[in-house]
Structure 1
Amino acid sequence: MTHFEHNLPILRRRAGYTQESLAEALGVSRQAVSKWESGQTLPEAATLLTLADLLSCTLDQLMREELSETDFPPPPAPDTAAEEARFALFVAYDQHMDRFSVLMAAGVFLSVASIASILGGCLVWGETGFIVLPFFLCLAAAVFLFIWGGIAHSDFRKAHPTVPPFYNADAITAFRKIFRAGIAIGVAAILVAVALLIGLSVLWQFQPNGGAAACTVFFLIVAAAVAALVYLGIQHSKYHGSGAAQEEASWTYTPSPASDRRCGFIMSAATIIFLVAGFVFDAWHPTWIVFPVGGLLCGMVSAAGRK
């Protein structure tokens, strides 16, 4: 005795199929499925095996056991409101992290470029008090971006302490390729800036303010490279924050990785050393070496802190 016509609609509804969608999956007509469920016909043996796979059941459950609706309730209807809320959170999180990455990277760029602004001021105004004006303007803009972005980031974390893993494996893999290339290019750019500084210093050594012009170019390149490293680091935390890349139900967002904080400390210390050595000991030229060293350390710290 078979219970096929009784069990098929129960298993079909549990698997989320309609008669039409099941027929399409099996490559038969809807009328054929309707006849199976009314007990008029039985499918072929090969179709029974495929049907059991589609419905995630055994042949015994499909043919011999007398199933009950209570044993196999239909799947719950999707929670549309929850899905909409999840999508809204994803959009807000993605936009926030992109904005935060840009603000922090811009702040780091302005911090390092403020040194270039001093040297550029020497080229424009000479040795006057005006050379510190662009420096403080750049520094003020950097501090503004750091405070604005930091407070906005803190407020977002407080408002959304727990964030599900939004990004799938393909998106994470694509970003990792960009991340590896970006880190390599950023560190290489700092080395190129060092080589360019040496070359321009030799080329422009007999020109007025040639050294200042060479250092200006150097610090602008370093500023762009370090800003790119910071941007990539924050983007990395967006995709890989506390287990987002792991197969977990959810993850709790935490502050920026320690490597990002160490990188900011390294470049801040380099800037302080350069300014103190320049203004106090008039050692602008030999002290520029702290920036390529700091940039290299940032690159190594960022690379070591990523999975």
Structure 2
Amino acid sequence: MSFRTNLQYLRAERHMTQEQLAMLLGVSRQSVTKWEAEKSYPEMDKLIKMCQIFECSLDDLVQGDLTDRDPVPVAATVPSGPATDVCGYDEHMRKYSKHVPTGVASFVLGIVGLVFFEETSGTPGFFNGGIASGWSELLGLGALFLGVLTGIGILVSSGMEHSAFVKAHPFIEDFYTEEERLQARRLLVKGVIAGLGSIFAGVMLCAFVERESGAGWAAAAVLFLLVAIGVWMIVYAGMMYDRIDIADYNRSAAEELEMEDIARIDVPEAVRDELRSARRTHKKIEAICGVIMLVATIIALTWLFMGPSLAGTTWDTIDAGHAAVDSPVSYFWLPWMVGGILCAIVTIVIKALDGD
């Protein structure tokens, strides 16, 4: 018995179309068509996944005769009719949409800790008369690095999980309904309005607190806290809206494929050339943005640790005057913000030029 016959029988047993099997395996429908026409043969990882789907052994699938086996009591079927989320795409993207803004907000919260501990140094009424200058510096830097490390950990782990999902499912059939698209658009509008409102409230509250009480540290801490909340809401709403653009996901997934993976995709040569071009563009953007952010990090850390000496002052004079908000290191985080903006500009320009 041939592999083709077994595959056709198993699909029919579960009322599964070629498109539905292709989605489960993360391949194109043309691949399944070629397997059943014996024009090509699936790779080992796809064979193993088929064994899991059809509950059979590899030997039986490839060389046996599965048409004579007893029917599966509860066959794993895929519903007919409109496309469904058979790969768990929506659940994955909802988790991913929460993890990324949480990681970004962690960076801002680290700055809140730095400002709080630096500016409450020696302030009466805080921790039995104020924190000693040396301890305040350590606590402030500790809060900053904790926020940065937490953010990096969340972003890296969620990024690796998303990358693994994309490689396992490089093609998703669009299954979202018009009602779900409308809900995503509403969430985007609400998230952007609420996020901008939080940031605006932080700016206004910061100005009010500083004017009424002169507590610059409290004003700055509140500002960054509300900025973190606003950024989380805006990024979350944006990613939840982007998740319904399945066509964009499929294009982005092609950019993550290696050249040898693109060569194995069953598409016309012209489409394969477009995918190769998209992959080269993606690698170019990655390299340039990597250099930009590395330079931004070097500048920011230099600004943080050497800012006072470069400006002709010292940490002692800054601490004595309790003026860290206006000190040379107050805005050390700006290089990262500028680097992010430059990366966005580079991405837009390179994609526009390569698209010509």
Partner of 2:307: 281
Q: Quick check: 2:100–2:155 contact (8 Å CA) kept in 1? A: yes
Quick one: which of 211, 219, 222 aligns to 1:217? 222
Question: Shift of residue 194 of structure 1?
Answer: 1.3
Task: Return closer, same or farther for 1:243/1:143 CA change in 2, 3 Å cut-off.
Answer: closer
Deviation at 1:200, TM superposition (A): 1.0
Aligned partner of 1:127 among 109, 119, 133: 133
Which residue type is aligned with residue 325 of structure 2?
A: H
SS of alignment partner, residue 89 of structure 1 = coil
Question: For residue 159 of structure 1, what is the aligned residue in structure 2?
Answer: 168
Corresponding position: 1:102 with 2:98: yes
Q: How far apart are the structure 1 equivalents of 2:153 and 2:299?
A: 22
2:183 counterpart residue number: 174
CA distance in 1, matches of 2:293, 2:246: 24
Q: Deviations over 1:12-48 (max 9, x none)?
A: xxxxxxxxxxxxxxxxxxxxxxxxxxxxxxxxxxxxx
Larger Rg: 1
CA-to-aligned-CA distance 1:133-153 (integer Å, 9 cap, x gap): 122112111111011000000
Tell me how far apart the structure 1 counterparts of residues 188 and 292 of structure 2 sit (CA, whole Å): 21
- The C-alpha deviation readout for 1:66-120, integer Å capped at 9, x for no partner, is xxxxxxxxxxxxx982338x64625x11111111111111101101110001122
Question: Deviations 1:260-306 (Å, cap 9, x if unpaired)?
Answer: x9xxx999999987765554435853555987xx69x98xx8xxx9x
**Residue matched to 1:32:** none
Q: 1:252 to 1:80 in 2, by over 3 A?
A: farther
Whole-angstrom distance in 2 between the partners of 1:146 and 1:132 = 21
One-letter code aligned to 2:203: V
Name 2:195's counterpart in structure 1: 186
TM-score, length-scaled by structure 2: 0.48
Residue identity opposite 2:110 in structure 1:
S
The residue aligned with 2:152 is 143
Instruction: Give 1:187 shift.
Output: 1.9
Distance between the aligned counterparts of 2:292 and 2:108, measured in 1? Answer: 12
Given that 2:172 and 2:246 are in contact with CA atoms closer than 8 Å, whether structure 1 keeps it comes out as no
Letter of the 2:245 counterpart: H
Cα distance in structure 1, aligned partners of 2:97 and 2:228: 15
- Distance in 1, Cα, partners of 2:305 & 2:200: 26
In structure 2, how many angstroms separate the alpha carbons of the residues matched to 1:135 and 1:290?
11
Map 1:2-81 → 2, pairs under 5 A: 81=77
Runs of 5+ unmatched residues, structure 1? 1-78, 245-250
Q: Which residue of 2 aligns with 1:115?
A: 111
How has the CA–CA distance of structure 1 residues 289 and 138 changed in structure 2, closer, same or farther, with 3 Å as cutoff?
Answer: closer
Aligned partners of 2:231 and 2:221: how far apart in 1? 15
Matches within 5 A, 1:225-236: 225-236=230-241
Instruction: Give the CA RMSD over aligned residues.
Output: 4.1
Distance 1:243 1:115, change over 3 A: closer
CA distance in 2, matches of 1:268, 1:110: 20
Q: Name the % identity.
A: 24
Give a deviation string over 1:173-204, Cα, whole Å, max 9, x none: 12102211211221232122112111111122
Q: Give how far 1:228 is off.
A: 1.5
Q: State how far apart, in whole Å, the 1-side matches of 2:231 and 2:295 are.
A: 14
My pick for the range that moved more, 133-142 or 158-167, is 133-142
The alignment partner of 1:83 has SS state of: coil
Q: Secondary structure at the match of 1:139?
A: helix
What is aligned with 2:243?
A: 238
Q: Does 1:196 align with 2:205?
A: yes
The answer to whether 1:89 aligns with 2:96 is no
What SS is found at the alignment partner of 2:176? coil
Worse overlay, 142-151 or 229-238:
229-238
